[in-house]
Chains A and B, each alone.
Chain A
Amino acid sequence: MASDHIVGIDLGTTNSLVAYMQGETPVVIPGEDGSNLVPSVVALDRDNQPIIGNAARNLLIETPERAVYSIKRLMGRAVEDIREELELFPFRLAEDLQPGEVLRIKLGDKTFTPPEISALILRQLKRNAERYFGGPVTKAVITVPAYFNDAQRQATKDAGRIGGLEVLRLVNEPTAASLAYGLDKKQNGIVAVYDLGGGTFDISILKLHDGIFEVVATNGDTHLGGDDIDNLLITIALDDIRGDLGLDLRRNAEAVQAIRKAVIEAKIALSSQPSVKLDIELPSELAGGKRYQREITRDQFEQLIQPIIDRTVGPCKQALKDANLKPEQIDEVVLVGGSTRIPKVRALVKEMFRHEPHTDLNPDEVVALGAAVQAVILGGGTQATQNMLLLDVTPLSLGIEVAGGVTDKIILRNSTIPASATQFYTTQIDGQANVAIHVLQGERELAKDCRSLARFDLKGIPPMAAGIPRVEVKFLIDANGILNVTAREQRSGKEAEIQVQPSYGLTDDQVESMILDSFDNAEEDFRRRQLIEARNEAATILGALEKGKRSAAWGQLTSDEKKQIAKMEKALLAVNADDDYQAIRRAIDALNQGTMRLAELMMDTAVSSALKGKKMDEADLGEGVTAPHPMAKAEFK
Chain B
Amino acid sequence: MTTKSTLTAISPKPLPEGTHTCWSCGSMRAAHFCESCGKVQPPTPVDYFTFFGLPPKLTVDVAALEKEFYELSRRLHPDLNARAGSREQEWSLEQSSMLNDAYRTLRDPIKRTEYLLHLEGVALEEQSKSATERARATGEIKKQIVPPDLLEEVFELNMQLEELRMNKKMGEDDPALTAEISQHKHALEAKHEALLQELETYWTDWDNLIDRSFLDQNQGSKAPAEERAKITAKMVDVLNRRNYIRNLVRDVNVALED
Binding site for B on A (CB under 8 A): 168-169, 209-210, 212, 374, 377-380, 387, 389-391, 402-406, 408-409, 415-421, 445-446, 476-479
Within 8 A of A (CB), among B92-115: 93-94, 96-98, 100-101, 103-104
Are B134 and A402 neighbours in the complex by a CB distance under 8 Å? yes
- How many residue-residue contacts, CB under 8 A, span A and B? 77
Evaluate contact between B83 and A379: CB separation under 8 angstroms.
yes
Given contacts A379-B82, A418-B96, A478-B93, contact A404 B73 (CB under 8 A): no
The 10 A-B residue pairs with the shortest CB-CB distance in the complex, in nearest-first order: A418-B97, A404-B138, A378-B82, A416-B100, A420-B97, A445-B137, A406-B137, A479-B78, A406-B134, A418-B96
The answer to whether A445 touches B133 (Cβ under 8 A) is yes
- Docked Cα-Cα span, A408 to B128, in Å, equals 12
Q: In the complex, how many angstroms separate the beta carbon of B67 from the nearest chain A beta carbon? A: 10
Question: In whole angstroms, what is the CA distance A416 to B100 when docked?
Answer: 6
Taking a contact as CB atoms closer than 8 A, the residue among B79, B98, B134 that contacts A378 in the complex is B79
Name the contact of B133 in the complex, choosing from A209, A406, A415 (C-beta under 8 A). Answer: A406
> How far apart are the CA atoms of A168 and B104 in the complex, in Å?
26
1/0 per position for B115-147, CB-CB distance to A under 8 A? 000000000000000100110111010000000
B73, A212: Cβ atoms under 8 Å?
yes
Q: Would you call B93 and A417 a contact (CB within 8 A)?
A: no
Interface membership of B80, Cβ < 8 A: yes
Q: Across the two chains, which residue of chain B brings its CB closest to A447?
A: B137
* Residue B70 interfacial (CB < 8 Å): yes
Q: Which residue of A lies closest to B138 (CB)?
A: A404
**What are 24 A-B contacts defined by CB distance under 8 Å?**
A210-B70, A212-B70, A374-B79, A377-B80, A378-B79, A378-B82, A380-B83, A387-B74, A389-B74, A389-B80, A391-B73, A403-B138, A404-B134, A404-B137, A405-B138, A406-B138, A408-B134, A416-B100, A416-B103, A418-B100, A419-B100, A419-B104, A420-B97, A478-B93
Tell me, in angstroms, the Cα distance from A418 to B77 when the chains sit together.
8
**Chain A residue contacts of B136, Cβ below 8 A:** 445
A168 and B82 contact, CB distance less than 8 A: yes
Report whether B70 and A419 are in contact in the complex, using a CB–CB cutoff of 8 Å.
no
Complex contact A420–B98 (CB within 8 A): yes
Asked, given contacts A209-B70, A409-B130, A445-B137, whether A390 binds B100 with beta carbons under 8 Å apart, the answer is no
Contact of A476 among B93, B103, B138 (CB under 8 A): B93
The answer to whether A377 touches B97, judged by C-beta atoms less than 8 angstroms apart, is no
Closest to A476 in B: B97
Across the two chains, which residue of chain A brings its CB closest to B74? A389
Q: How far is the CA of A485 from the CA of B94 in the complex (A)?
A: 12
A418 near B93: Cβ-Cβ < 8 Å:
yes
Q: Point out the residues of chain A lying under 8 angstroms from B103, CB to CB.
A: 416
Q: Which residues of B contact A418 (CB under 8 A)?
A: 78, 93, 96-97, 100
Q: Which residue of A lies closest to B93 (CB)?
A: A418
B105 to chain A, nearest CB (A): 10
When distances are taken between beta carbons in the complex, the residues of chain B under 8 Å from A478 are 78, 93
For the complex, what is the distance from the CA of A417 to the CA of B80, rounded to whole Å? 14
* Nearest-CB residue, chain B, relative to A480: B78
Interface centre among B96, B97, B134, B140, by most chain A C-beta atoms within 10 angstroms, is B97
Task: Decide: A377 near B79, CB < 8 A? Known: A404-B134, A416-B100.
Answer: yes
Q: Which chain B residues in 152-206 approach chain A with CB under 8 Å?
A: none
Across-interface contacts of A477 in B (CB, < 8 A): 97
For the complex, what is the distance from the CA of A396 to the CA of B134, rounded to whole Å?
19
Closest CB in chain B relative to A210 CB, distance in Å: 8
CA distance A415 to B111 in the complex (A): 13
CA distance A445 to B130 in the complex (A): 9
User: Residues of A contacting B138 with CB < 8 Å?
Assistant: 403-406
Q: A374-B79, A377-B80 are in contact. List 5 more A-B contacts (CB 8 A).
A: A168-B82, A402-B134, A406-B134, A416-B103, A476-B94
A390 CA / B73 CA spacing, docked (Å): 10
B37 to chain A, nearest CB (A): 16
* CB proximity of B253 to chain A, nearest CB, Å: 14
- Give the chain B neighbours of A210 by CB distance below 8 A: 70
* Candidates B79, B96, B97, B98; contact of A169 at CB < 8 Å: B79
Do the beta carbons of A415 and B100 come within 8 Å of each other? yes
Residue of B nearest to A410 (CB): B130
Q: What is the minimal beta-carbon distance from A476 to any residue of chain B, in angstroms?
A: 6
Closest CB in chain B relative to A291 CB, distance in Å: 51
Interface set, chain B 64-96, CB cutoff 8 A to A: 70, 73-74, 77-80, 82-83, 93-94, 96
Are A479 and B130 closer than 8 Å at their CB atoms?
Answer: no
Asked if A415 and B93 make an inter-chain contact with CB atoms under 8 angstroms apart, the answer reads no
Residues of A close to B134: CB separation below 8 A:
402, 404, 406, 408
Q: Write the chain B residue with the least CB distance to A212.
A: B70
Residue of B whose beta carbon sits closest to that of A387:
B74
Q: In the assembly, what is the distance between CA of A11 and CA of B100, in Å? A: 29
Which chain B residues lie closer than 8 Å to A403 at the CB level? Answer: 138
Is B100 a contact partner of A408 (Cβ separation < 8 A)? no
Q: Whose C-beta in chain A lies nearest to the C-beta of B81? A: A378
Query: Chain A residues near B79 (CB, 8 Å)?
Result: 169, 374, 377-378, 389-390, 479
**A210 to chain B: closest residue by CB:** B70
User: Are the CB atoms of A420 and B101 closer together than 8 Å?
Assistant: yes
Residues of chain B within 8 A of A409, CB atoms compared: 130
For residue B127, give the distance in angstroms from its CB to the closest CB of chain A: 16
Contact between chains at B97 and A408 (CB < 8 Å): no
Whether the pair A446, B137 counts as a contact (CB closer than 8 A) is yes
- Assembled-state Cα–Cα distance A378/B82 (Å): 6
Of all chain B residues, the one with the shortest Cβ separation from A374 is B79
Give A186 Cβ to nearest chain B Cβ, in Å. Answer: 15
Which residues of A sit under 8 angstroms from B82, Cβ to Cβ?
168-169, 378-379
- Min CB gap A2→B, angstroms: 16
In the complex, how many angstroms separate the beta carbon of B92 from the nearest chain A beta carbon? Answer: 9
Check A417 against B100 for contact (C-beta < 8 Å).
yes
CA distance A418 to B98 in the complex (A): 8
By beta carbon, the residue of chain A nearest B104 is: A415
Structural contact, A419 and B137, CB atoms closer than 8 A? no
User: B80 contacts which chain A residues (CB < 8 A)?
Assistant: 377, 389
Chain A nearest CB from B32 CB (Å) reads: 14
Contact A389 B133 (CB under 8 A): no
Kindly provide the distance from the CB of B30 to the nearest chain A CB, expressed in whole angstroms.
19
Contact partners of B96 in chain A: CB under 8 A: 418, 479
* A438 shortest CB reach to chain B, Å: 15
Residues of A contacting B78 in the complex (Cβ-Cβ under 8 angstroms):
418, 478-479
A409: nearest chain-B partner, CB-CB: B130
Chain B residues positioned under 8 Å from A390 (CB to CB):
79
- Alpha-carbon separation in the docked complex, A130 to B93 (Å): 31
Q: For chain B residues 201-231, which have a beta carbon within 8 Å of chain A? A: none
User: Which chain A residue shows the least CB distance to B140?
Assistant: A404
A374 CA / B96 CA spacing, docked (Å): 18
Distance from A479 Cβ to chain B, minimum over Cβ atoms (Å): 5
Min CB distance B112 to A, Å, is 15
A479 touching B137, Cβ below 8 Å: no
Partner among B77, B83, B137 whose Cβ is within 8 Å of the Cβ of A389: B77
Q: Which residue of B lies closest to A415 (CB)?
A: B104
Give bound CA distance, A406 to B138, whole Å: 7
Q: Please give the distance in Å from B156's CB to the nearest CB on chain A.
A: 29
The smallest C-beta distance from B2 to any residue of chain A, in angstroms, reads 27
For the complex, give the distance between the alpha carbons of A377 and B103 in Å. 24
- Chain B residues numbered 14-55 whose CB sits less than 8 Å from any CB in chain A: none
Expressed in whole angstroms, the Cα–Cα distance for A96 and B187 within the complex equals 62
Q: Contact check: which of B77, B101, B130, B140 meets A419 at CB < 8 Å?
A: B101
A237 vs chain B, min Cβ distance (A): 39
Hey, which chain B residues are within 8 Å of A479, CB to CB?
Answer: 77-79, 93, 96
Give the docked Cα–Cα distance between A452 and B150 (Å).
41
Query: Which one of B77, B94, B130 contacts A408 once the chains associate, using CB atoms below 8 Å?
Result: B130
Bound-state CA distance A173–B216 (Å) is: 54
Cα separation A478 to B97 with both chains bound (whole Å) = 8
Inter-chain CA distance A408–B130, complex, in Å, is 7
